[in-house]
Structure 1
Amino acid sequence: MNRIIGFSAIFCLGVLTAPAIAPKVSLVEERTNIRSDRRPIPVGYYDDKADKTFVCWMSAHSHPAVKAFDHASGKWGDTKIVAESPFADKHNYPAILRGKDNHIYMFYGCHNSTLKMAVSPEPNSIEGKWTDTYIPQAERASYPAPVLTDDGVFYVFYRDTRKNNGYADDRPYQFVKSTDNGKTWTRQMLIDPYPRVTDSMMEVYNGQVSYQPGDGKHAGRIHIAWTICGEKAGKHAHATYGRNVYYAYLDLSDDHVYNVEGRDLGTTIDNLEADKYCLALETPIPERGHQAGLQVSVHFRDNGAPLIHYNYPSEHGGRLATWTGKEWHHTSFGAVGEPRGIEKLGPETFRIYSTMGKGVTTFVTSDGGLTVKRETEIETPKSLSRCYVVSDARPELKLLLFTTPVIDGKESLHEGSRDMYVVNDIYE
Structure 2
Amino acid sequence: MSAALLLPLVAVPSANATAGPAGFTVTTTATNVAARSDRRPVAGGVHDQKVGKTFISWAGQYEDSYVQTYDHRRSTWSAPSRIADGDADSHNYPTMVQARDGHLLVFRGMHNVELRMSRSPQPHSAEGTWEETVISKNAATYPMPFVTRDGTIYVFYRETSGDLDPSVPTDTRPMLYVVSKDNGRTWKTSTDLTGDRFAIGSTARADNMNEIYIGQLRLEDSGRVRIAYTLAGGGFEGHKHDRYHRNLYYTWFDPRTLHFYSASGRDLGTQIDDTDQESFLKIAETPLTLPNNVKSPDYIQQVGTTLGRPFVLWFTGDPDNGPLHNYLSTWTGRTWETREVARGLRTREIEPVSPLTWRVYATEDGKPNVLTYLVRFGRTWEAETVIPTAKPVQRVEVVENFRDPARAIFSGASSQRDVAVADGDISVAGLSRR
Fold agreement, TM-score > 0.5: yes
Structure 1: give runs of 5+ residues left out of the alignment: 1-15, 215-219
Deviation at 1:348, TM superposition (A): 2.3
Q: How does 1:232-243 map to 2 (within 5 A)?
A: 232-243=235-246
What is the aligned counterpart of 1:257 among 252, 256, 260? 260
- The alignment partner of 2:277 has SS state of helix
Say if 1:77 and 1:351 are closer, same or farther in 2 by CA, change over 3 A: same
The 1-side partners of 2:97 and 2:391 are apart by 29
Task: Measure, in 2, the Cα distance between the counterparts of 1:329 and 1:264.
Answer: 22
Give the one of 378, 382, 390 matched to 2:387.
378
1:273 equivalent in structure 2: 276
What corresponds to 1:319 in structure 2?
A: 327
CA gap 1:389/1:150 in 2 versus in 1, 3 angstroms:
same
Distance 2:109 2:171 in 1: 22
Q: Which of the numbers 181, 184, 191 marks the counterpart of 1:182?
A: 184
**Inter-partner Cα distance in structure 2 for 1:46 and 1:381:** 25
Q: How does 1:20-35 map to 2 (within 5 A)?
A: 20-21=22-23, 23-35=24-36
- Partner Cα separation in structure 2 for residue 278 and residue 427 of structure 1: 40
Secondary structure of the corresponding residue to residue 199 of structure 2: strand
Q: How far did 1:20 drift? A: 4.7
CA distance in 1, matches of 2:19, 2:61: 38
Write out per-residue CA displacement over residues 361-402 of structure 1, whole angstroms, 9 at most, x where no aligned residue.
1111121x2111111122221122222222222222222212
**1:347: which partner in 2?**
355
Question: What is the alpha-carbon distance in structure 1 between the residues aligned to residue 231 and residue 402 of structure 2?
Answer: 33
2:113 corresponds to: 113
Query: Any idea what the Cα deviations from partners look like across 1:305-341, whole Å, max 9, x if unmatched?
Result: 2221111335832112111111112232225343311
**Separation (CA, whole Å) in 1 of partners of 2:356 and 2:330:** 11
**Structure 1 length normalisation: TM-score?**
0.88
Measure, in 1, the Cα distance between the counterparts of 2:132 and 2:411.
Answer: 26
Given the alignment, which residue of 363, 369, 372 partners 1:359? 369
User: What is the rounded CA distance, in whole Å, between the counterparts of 2:381 and 2:431 in structure 1?
Assistant: 21
Q: Distance in 1 between matches of 2:187 and 2:219?
A: 19
Give the match for residue 53 of structure 2: 52
Matched, 1:18 2:23: no
Indicate whether 1:425 and 2:431 are aligned.
Answer: yes
CA offsets 1:231-265 (integer angstroms, 9 cap, x no match): 22251111111111111111222101111111121
Pair 1:426–1:290, CA change in 2 (3 A): same
What displacement does 1:186 show?
A: 1.7
Secondary structure in 2 matching 1:100: coil
State the partner residue of 1:162.
Answer: 161
Contact 1:206 1:297 in 2 (8 A): no
Report the Cα distance in structure 1 between the residues aligned to 2:430 and 2:255, rounded to whole angstroms: 35
Unaligned runs of at least 5 residues, structure 2: 1-17, 191-197
Contact kept? 1:19, 1:426, Cα under 8 Å = no
Partner-residue secondary structure (3-state), 2:138: coil
1:157 shift after superposition: 0.9
How far apart, in 2, do the equivalents of 1:275 and 1:427 lie?
46
2:97 is matched with 97
Residue 234 of structure 2 aligns with an amino acid whose one-letter code is E
- CA distance in 2 between partners of 1:101 and 1:123 (Å): 7
Please list the CA deviations of residues 208-242 of structure 1 after superposition, one character each: whole Å capped at 9, or x if unmatched.
Answer: 2111234xxxxx32111111011222511111111
Work out the CA distance in 1 between the residues paired with 2:71 and 2:354. Answer: 28
Cα displacement string for residues 27-74 of structure 1 (whole angstroms, at most 9, x for unaligned residues):
221122211111101111221111111111122232211111111221
Secondary structure (helix, strand or coil) at the match of 2:215 reads coil
Aligned position for 2:346: 338
Q: CA distance change for structure 1 residues 393 and 81 in 2, over 3 Å: closer, same or farther? A: same
> Is this contact kept in 2: 1:361–1:376, CA < 8 A?
yes
Q: What is residue 389 of structure 1 aligned with on the other side? A: 398
Relative CO higher for 1 or 2, CA cutoff 8 Å, sep ≥ 6? 1
Question: In 1, Cα distance between the equivalents of 2:230 and 2:240?
Answer: 16
Aligned equivalent of 2:314: 310
Alpha-carbon distance between aligned partners in 2 of 1:41 and 1:358, rounded to the nearest angstrom? 22
CA RMSD of aligned residues (A): 2.1
Q: Aligned partners of 2:352, 2:211: CA distance in 1, in Å?
A: 29
Distance 1:427 1:206 in 2: 34
Cα separation, partners in 2 of 1:124 and 1:401, compared to 1, 3 Å: same
Contact 1:362 1:375 in 2 (8 A): yes
What is the identity percentage for the equivalent residue pairs of Structure 1 and Structure 2? 33
TM-score calculated relative to the size of structure 2: 0.87
TM superposition shift of 1:118: 0.9
- For 1:427 and 1:242, how far apart are their aligned partners in 2? 41
Say whether residues 1:226 and 2:232 are aligned partners: no
